[in-house]
Amino acid sequence: MKKKETVKVMADKTMNDGSTITAKQEKTIQLKSGEACEVILDKTYKNENVKVKTYLLCFDVEGQTFILSGTMFKDFDSTIAEYRHVVETMRLK
Q: Residue range 57-86: average pLDDT?
A: 88
Beta strands in 1-93 (DSSP E): 20-31, 34-45, 50-61, 64-72
pLDDT at 1: 52
Which pLDDT tens digit goes with each residue over 14-61?
777 778 888 889 999 998 878 899 999 888 877 767 788 889 999 988
Domain count, the chain: 1
The domain of 57 spans 3-89
Q: Residue range 67-86: average pLDDT?
A: 88
Contact 3, 37 (CB under 8 A): yes
Residue 80 vs residues 5, 14, 16, 57: alpha-carbon distances, Å: 21, 18, 23, 9
Contact 40, 27 (CB under 8 A): no
pLDDT-based confidence at residue 90 (cuts at 50, 70, 90): confident
pLDDT at 29: 92
pLDDT at 20: 80
Give 13 or 68, the one with higher predicted confidence: 68
Contact 39, 21 (CB under 8 A): no
